[in-house]
A and B are shown apart, each in its own frame.
Chain A
Amino acid sequence: MISRYVSLLAVRAAARGALRLIRLAIGAALIVAAAPVSLVAAGSATAAWLRGWPPGRLYRAAAYCAPMVIAWLVATALATRSWRSVATAPYLAWLAMWHHAAAGSYPAAAAVIAPAAIPLGLLAGGLAWSYRIRSMETGSGGLSPGSAVTFDLRQWRHQVRSARALIAAPGSLPLTTQNGHVVAGAVIRTIGHQGDRIAAIPYPRMRSHQVVVGTTGTGKTTLLLRLWAGFMATALRRHAAGAGRPPLLVVLDCKGGADARRIADRARRVLRAAGARSTAIWPDEASLSLWTLPPRQLTTTLLDLIEHGTGAAAYYADVMEAVVALAVEAPCGPPASAADFLARLDPGWLTLAYSSGGYDSDLALVRSAARQFGDIALRYRTLFRRLGSGLDGPGGFADADAWYCILEGTAEISVAEGQARALVDLLASYATGQPDGSGQAREILLAVDEFSAVSRRLPIWQLYERARSLGLAVQVSAQSWQGLAADDDERYRIAASADGGIWLLRTPHPEPVTGLAGTRKLVDTTRRLLGVPLWAHQGTSRIREAPVADPALIRSLDVGQVAYIYRGGVTFIQVKRLIGGPAALAGPTGATAARESRRAHGQPAVARPADGRASTVPPAPGGSAPAWVTHGDASAVSAAHDRSGAVPPDPPPRPGPPTPAASVPAASGQRNPLPDVSELLDEAFGAEAGP
Chain B
Amino acid sequence: MIRAEGTAAPPAGGGNLAGRDIAGLLFTAEMYGVQVDQLAAVLGVSESRARAIAARWRRQRHAESARLGPGPPWIWLTRAGLAGCGLPYAPAPPALSRLAHIRAVAAVRLALESASGYHAAGAYWRSERRLRARVGGRVGLRAHLPDGEVHWPDGAPVAWAGECWAIEAELTRKTVGRTTAIMQELLSRTGDYGCPAADVLVPGRPPRHARVLYLCSAAARPTVARAREALGGAAARIEIRALPPGAAMEPAVRPAAGRTARQPGTTR
Stretch at the interface among B45-53, B75-83, B191-199, B236-244: B236-244
In Å, the complex CA distance between A686 and B108 comes to 12
| Residues 227 to 262 of chain B near chain A (Cβ within 8 Å) | 236-237, 239, 241-245
In Å, the complex CA distance between A37 and B245 comes to 43
In Å, the complex CA distance between A673 and B236 comes to 9
Q: Which residues from B are CB-within-8-Å of A5?
A: none
Q: Does B124 contact A (CB under 8 A)?
A: no
Q: Which residues from B are CB-within-8-Å of A644?
A: 116
Q: Does A675 contact B (CB under 8 A)?
A: yes
Q: Which residues from B are CB-within-8-Å of A582?
A: 159
Q: Does B115 contact A (CB under 8 A)?
A: yes
In Å, the complex CA distance between A86 and B41 comes to 53
A681 touches B213 (CB 8 A): yes
| Residues 661 to 680 of chain A near chain B (Cβ within 8 Å) | 673-677, 679-680
A676 touches B241 (CB 8 A): no
A680 touches B241 (CB 8 A): no
A680 touches B242 (CB 8 A): no
Q: Does A684 contact B (CB under 8 A)?
A: yes
Q: Which residues from A are CB-within-8-Å of B44?
A: none
A680 touches B239 (CB 8 A): no
Residue of A whose beta carbon sits closest to that of B112: A684
In Å, the complex CA distance between A680 and B210 comes to 16
Q: Mark B193-235, 1 if CB is under 8 A from A, else 0.
A: 0000000000000000011010100000000000000000000
Residue of A whose beta carbon sits closest to that of B240: A688
Contact A683:B115 (CB < 8 A) given known A675-B160, A676-B159: yes
Contact A685:B111 (CB < 8 A) given known A168-B116, A673-B236: yes
Contact A685:B215 (CB < 8 A) given known A673-B236, A680-B118: yes
Q: Which residues from A are CB-within-8-Å of B117?
A: 679-680, 683
Q: Report the minimum CB–CB distance from B180 to chain A (whole Å).
A: 20
Please report whether the interface of chain B is mostly helix, strand, loop or mixed according to DSSP.
Answer: mixed
In Å, the complex CA distance between A673 and B233 comes to 11
B114 touches A684 (CB 8 A): yes
Q: Which residues from A are CB-within-8-Å of B90?
A: none
Among A168, A675, A685, the residue within 8 A (CB) of B244 is: A685
Q: Which residues from A are CB-within-8-Å of B243?
A: 685
In Å, the complex CA distance between A675 and B162 comes to 12
Q: Report the minimum CB–CB distance from B229 to chain A (whole Å).
A: 11
B111 touches A684 (CB 8 A): yes
Q: Which residues from B are CB-within-8-Å of A683?
A: 114-117
In Å, the complex CA distance between A676 and B211 comes to 11
Q: Which residues from A are CB-within-8-Å of B12?
A: none
Q: How many residues of chain A have a CB within 8 Å of chain B?
A: 16
Residue of A whose beta carbon sits closest to that of B110: A684
Q: Mark B101-122, 1 if CB is under 8 A from A, else 0.
A: 0000000000110111110000
Q: Does B158 contact A (CB under 8 A)?
A: yes
Contact A677:B160 (CB < 8 A) given known A685-B111, A685-B215: yes
In Å, the complex CA distance between A673 and B213 comes to 16
Q: Report the minimum CB–CB distance from A593 to chain B (whole Å).
A: 14
Q: Which residues from A are CB-within-8-Å of B239?
A: 677, 681
Contact A680:B158 (CB < 8 A) given known A674-B211, A674-B236: yes
B242 touches A686 (CB 8 A): yes
Q: Report the minimum CB–CB distance from B6 to chain A (whole Å).
A: 34
Residue of B whose beta carbon sits closest to that of A678: B239
In Å, the complex CA distance between A98 and B88 comes to 61
In Å, the complex CA distance between A676 and B163 comes to 13
Among A674, A676, A680, the residue within 8 A (CB) of B115 is: A680
Q: Which residues from B are CB-within-8-Å of A688?
A: 241-242
Q: Report the minimum CB–CB distance from A375 to chain B (whole Å).
A: 45
Q: Report the minimum CB–CB distance from A678 to chain B (whole Å).
A: 8
Q: Report the minimum CB–CB distance from A645 to chain B (whole Å).
A: 10
A686 touches B236 (CB 8 A): no
Q: Which residues from A are CB-within-8-Å of B213?
A: 681
Q: Which residues from B are CB-within-8-Å of A684?
A: 111-112, 114-115, 118, 244
Q: Report the minimum CB–CB distance from A647 to chain B (whole Å).
A: 16
Residue of A whose beta carbon sits closest to that of B161: A675
Q: Which residues from B are CB-within-8-Å of A673?
A: 236
Q: Which residues from A are CB-within-8-Å of B245?
A: 686
Q: Which residues from B are CB-within-8-Å of A674?
A: 160, 210-211, 236-237
In Å, the complex CA distance between A681 and B213 comes to 9
Q: Which residues from A are CB-within-8-Å of B215?
A: 685
Q: Which residues from B are CB-within-8-Å of A685?
A: 111-112, 215, 241-244
Residue of A whose beta carbon sits closest to that of B211: A674
In Å, the complex CA distance between A684 and B116 comes to 9
In Å, the complex CA distance between A679 and B159 comes to 11
In Å, the complex CA distance between A486 and B111 comes to 43
Q: Mark A157-179, 1 if CB is under 8 A from B, else 0.
A: 00000000000100000000000
B244 touches A686 (CB 8 A): yes
B158 touches A681 (CB 8 A): no
| Residues 130 to 159 of chain B near chain A (Cβ within 8 Å) | 158-159
In Å, the complex CA distance between A673 and B211 comes to 12
Residue of B whose beta carbon sits closest to that of A169: B116
In Å, the complex CA distance between A543 and B239 comes to 55
Residue of A whose beta carbon sits closest to that of B117: A680
In Å, the complex CA distance between A681 and B236 comes to 15
Q: Besides A680-B117, A684-B118, A684-B244, 5 other CB < 8 A contacts?
A: A679-B117, A681-B241, A684-B112, A685-B243, A686-B244
Closest 5 pairs (CB-CB, A-B)? A675-B159, A684-B115, A683-B115, A680-B117, A685-B241
Please name 14 pairs of A and B residues whose Cβ atoms are closer than 8 Å in the assembled complex, sorted by A.
A644-B116, A674-B210, A675-B159, A675-B160, A677-B239, A683-B114, A683-B116, A683-B117, A684-B112, A685-B111, A685-B241, A685-B244, A686-B244, A688-B241
Residues of B within 8 A of A (CB): 111-112, 114-118, 158-160, 210-211, 213, 215, 236-237, 239, 241-245
